[in-house]
Amino acid sequence: MTIDWWTLGLQTVNVLILLWLLARFLFRPVAKIIAERQAAAHAALDEAEAAKVAAETARAEAEAAKQAVLSERAEKIAEVRKDAEVEKQRLMAELQAELDKARVQAKEDLARQSKAQEEALSEQAGVLAGDIAERLLARLPKEARIAGFIDGLVEAVGALPESTRTGIGLNGPVPLRAAQMPTEAEIAQLRDGLGKILGRAVEIEVTEAPELIAGLELDTATAIVRNHFRADLDRITAEVRKHD
């Protein structure tokens, strides 16, 4: 076995040249592009990280803004609720006052209507009583409508004070209203009775007044003496109203 030193030397030089060639045209450019890609990747990662940080910051700011808006909203809602509550209380108070006023008014109206109704009823009752009495008296004989009241009228005149009684019949005939025209005998009885009470003879001027139903009414300048059913019914009605 022999070694060709020329070939050994040439191969050494060849490998060194190949080493230079590959280093120059293969390994250096490829390593460079790998490094550039890594740098680009790192830059992209850094950029993405920065974008992420920016996004996180923006998100935090948005969250803070949202919380601020929510807080402000809650405050405004509370404020509005408070105002609404105050307004509600005011309206309720006004409504309550109006209701009280209306209630009082209604109570007054009701009392007034009740009173008016009672008065109307009383009046109707009086009228009805008058009608009843009139119908009942219509069944009595007509003489009873005057004769039965003569003594009572005389007694009433006798019950008047002396001064009043003295003035009756001094200036002319005594006006007398009767439910129906009395008979001569009834007039004479009345004249006699009054003469006894007054102590002197008096003239009587009779006027027919059917509204008296039954009875007599002496109408003088100093006194009016009533003894008839109308007066009694009016008195009874007045008494009933007073008791109500």
Partner 1 sequence: MDNPLSIEPLFHIGPVPITQPVVVTWAIMLALGVFSFVATRHLRIIPTKTQTVLELFVSTIEGQVRDVMNGDPKPYRALIGTIFLFILVANWSSLIPGIEPPTAHIETDAALALIVFVAILWFGIGTRGIKGYLATFAEPTWVMIPLNIVEQITRTFSLIVRLFGNVMSGVFVISIVLSLAGLFVPIPLMALDLLTGAVQAYIFAILATVFIGAAVAETPSPKPQEDISQ
- Binding of residue 21 to partner 1 (CB under 8 A): yes
Exposure string over 178-193, b if 16+ CB within 10 A, otherwise e: bbbebeeebbebbbeb
**Residue among 40 and 58 whose Cβ is closer to partner 1:** 40
CB-CB contact of 202 with 169 (8 Å): yes
**Continuous H helices in 139-161:** 144-158
Minimum distance, C-beta of residue 59 to partner 1, in the bound complex (Å): 32
- Binding of residue 34 to partner 1 (CB under 8 A): yes
- Binding of residue 28 to partner 1 (CB under 8 A): yes
Q: Cβ of 197: how many Cβ atoms within 10 Å?
A: 19
Cα–Cα dist 178/160, whole Å: 20
Q: Which stretch binds partner 1 (CB under 8 A): 25-33, 72-80, 121-129, 156-164?
A: 25-33
Report the SS3 class of residue 215.
strand
**Residue among 11 and 67 whose Cβ is closer to partner 1:** 11
Which residue from 12, 113, 114, 207 is in contact with partner 1, where contact means CB under 8 A? Answer: 12
Minimum distance, C-beta of residue 15 to partner 1, in the bound complex (Å): 6
Report the SS3 class of residue 4.
coil
Cα–Cα dist 60/58, whole Å: 5
- Binding of residue 22 to partner 1 (CB under 8 A): yes
> 49-78: which residues touch partner 1 (CB under 8 A)?
none
Minimum distance, C-beta of residue 36 to partner 1, in the bound complex (Å): 6
- Binding of residue 43 to partner 1 (CB under 8 A): no
Strand boundaries in the chain, DSSP class E: 174-178, 204-208, 215-219, 224-228
**Residue among 12 and 67 whose Cβ is closer to partner 1:** 12
**Residue among 19 and 65 whose Cβ is closer to partner 1:** 19
Q: Element (H or E) spanning 181, and its range?
A: none
- Site residues (CB under 8 A) for partner 1? 1-4, 6-12, 14-19, 21-23, 25-34, 36-37, 40
